[in-house]
Amino acid sequence: MTATRRATARSVAAGQTTGTVAVPLALHVSARIAERDAEDFLYDPTQLANALRDLIGAIDPDGVPVSDSAVLLDGCRSVADVAASPQLKAAAEATERLRASFRDDIVLVAVLPGPAAVAARTGADAAAAAAAVLALGKEFLGAGADMLIVQDEAESPGTSLSTLANVARFHQAVALSHGHERYGLPGTVPVDLQAPAMATGVASTPGQLPRDTDLSVLRDWVTVVRG
């Protein structure tokens, strides 16, 4: 029996199987495909879910991002704001809808801000910032996300996200760090959009792609990365 995309992603991300999971960070591209407003769709679960459905249909990736780490921090002045923002609620609800629609046929990826990014935005100490990341992860895992990718430009010294990894495993999901091993989490494999190459592991673009990204280039990226 052929493994589902969800099962394959868990196995590859955990290092149990050799393979590729292609996850272009194309959340904002989905808004253009669906002809949605660049900002408003991130706060509307219906628009967000529909846009991501269109993205899946257009480029057939293994996984799609249901959130943007920077957007999850927009307007947040405290860690309490991070855990209760309208954009978080919209993204979590969209995740639930996509899980119900696609079942095991797509990998749903929540891209989260890391502790350093949370601390920089809110002024929280390292422990409180890590707790905020954990709260975000729990929200998405409860909604049906398969993968959490923590995005930070640099690692907050002395901070671990091992609890996040453990909670993800409990939900039969996985927690990774974007592009580099950080916080005790294995890293995704960054693959440039303009110079793609076959990759082994969870492959993602180096950052969120701009709205005007060429769809043919994006489709080629997915094809080449898979090999």
Residue 187's beta-bridge partner residues?
177
pLDDT tens digit sequence for 37-87 = 877 889 999 999 999 999 999 999 999 999 999 999 999 999 999 999 999
Task: Please choose, from the candidates 180, 209, 200, 207, the residue with its C-alpha nearest in 3D space to the C-alpha of residue 21.
Answer: 200
Q: Are 203 and 193 in contact (CB under 8 A)?
A: no
How many domains is the chain partitioned into structurally? 1
Pairing mode, strands 147-151 and 63-65: unpaired
Instruction: Decide if 163 is inside a domain.
Output: yes
State the residue range of the domain holding 156: 30-185
Instruction: Decide if 226 is inside a domain.
Output: no
pLDDT tens digit sequence for 127-156 = 999 999 999 999 999 999 999 999 999 999
Q: Are 24 and 221 in contact (CB under 8 A)?
A: yes
Instruction: Decide if 169 is inside a domain.
Output: yes
Instruction: Decide if 153 is inside a domain.
Output: yes
Instruction: Record the tokens describing residue 86, joined without a space.
Output: 């309208």
Instruction: Decide if 213 is inside a domain.
Output: no
Instruction: Decide if 135 is inside a domain.
Output: yes
Whole-prediction pTM: 0.96
DSSP result, 76-113:
--SHHHHHT-HHHHHHHHHHHHHHHHHTTSSEEEEEEE
CATH number at residue 37: 3.20.20.210
pLDDT tens digit sequence for 160-184 = 999 999 999 999 999 999 999 999 9
